[in-house]
Amino acid sequence: MKNISLILLGCGGVGRQLLQHIISCRALHANQGLRLRVVGVADSKSLLVALDVSTMEMDDQLLHEICLIKSNGSSLASLANPGSYQLLSGLELTKKLNDIAGHLARLSGLAVVDCSASTDTVEVLKKAVEIGCSIVLANKKPLSSSMVDYDLLVSHPRHLRHESTVGAGLPIIVSINRFISSGDSISRITGSLSGTLGYVMSEVEDGKPFSVVVRTAKALGFTEPDPRDDLGGVDVARKALILARLLGNRINLDNIKIESLYPEEMGAKTMGVDKFLSDGLTSLDHDIEQRVKRASSSGNVLRYVCVIEGPRCEVGIREVPKSSPLGRLKGSDNLLEIYSCCYKAQPLVIQGAGAGNDTTAAGVLADILDIQDLFSS
């Protein structure tokens, strides 16, 4: 039996779903000769870790309990009886993570799995890479941080997996890497990489007011609590940056032209979320309606897309032919078109669910299993 030891950073929706996937796949993995050993779990404040990571792991009952308390909004520190586990915070947390990483990297291997949405994990991940650990990311922020951090994080490609940073579980990163490995030069990437904005754009196409569509999306749970976090386009820009860097572009987030769907004067610093939802959104209806009509008169529709072509990287609303793959896109699916030497006239199209905790966590789990050969039995 090959053991894959891992530490999970982040116990939000994706992190909890990953733990559930690990538990539910025990029999499947055992038949494959694998055992995923969760030796530590961290939230934003605390680290819960086995006292002896060489011989102990978190049992499934404890993993269930962690999922329960985190789904209720409590911290790991609220665990009533950690038993044979140690609860750490602050500087102790970072030191312990580094100690565990160094010990298990030498012994059998360790995967540090980042399912958070924080920039605070970057230093931990960099140290893990330097020590020789593998890192698996759903968190977009480490790979969209500075080029200095990026270069270190990707310095050992075989030890890095990050499929779920772009398009949840869709095979986007692996497909682009196959293009690169085969020498098939990619000339252009165009895609709709936000389930929220994909839903909004396809709904306004049918004549519904922008404000009504956004409020409906929020009610359905498609948006962040403050929809401006989606409408501002920064999340799409982070995904575009990861893809652009994968193609060799040495750029930062501030090099990307980002079109926000609301003006600066409606930002969080000047307008509360309730005021934005009640008044701000309505004032944007006319402009979006006119753009929809102009596009329709030319046989086009509006989509919020990323465009990567040579050194150019942009995200924003674009008109696309209604008959094109992007034009036919409906609902919250993601879609990516890749043009290359071999795919000049007709691009490679990757489409499917690009959001959701279950889909993203499944992608993370697949990434963990993809590095199993780096672990000793």
Spatial contact of 213 and 207, defined as CB atoms under 8 Å apart: no
8 Å CB contact between 329 and 335: yes
Identify the active-site residue in 141, 239, 293, 344.
Answer: 239
- Cα separation, 34 vs 3, in Å, equals 6
CA atoms of 349 and 21, how far apart (whole Å): 28
Judged by DSSP in three states, 161 sits in strand
176: exposed, middle or buried (Cβ count in 10 Å: 0-12, 13-18, 19+): buried
Nearest 5°: the CA angle 72, 73, 74 is 95
Give the neighbor-by-neighbor strand order of the sheet with 348-353.
257-258, 312-321, 300-309, 186-192, 333-340, 348-353
Please report how the helices 285-297 and 210-219 are oriented relative to each other, as an axis angle in degrees rounded to 10.
Answer: 110
Residue 190 three-state SS: strand
CA atoms within 13 A on the CB side of 132: 11
Residue 319 parent element (H or E): strand 312-321
CA 352 to chain centre: 15
CA distance 299 to 322: 6
- Asked about 239 being catalytic, the answer comes back as yes
- The DSSP symbol for 259 reads -
Active-site residue list: 239
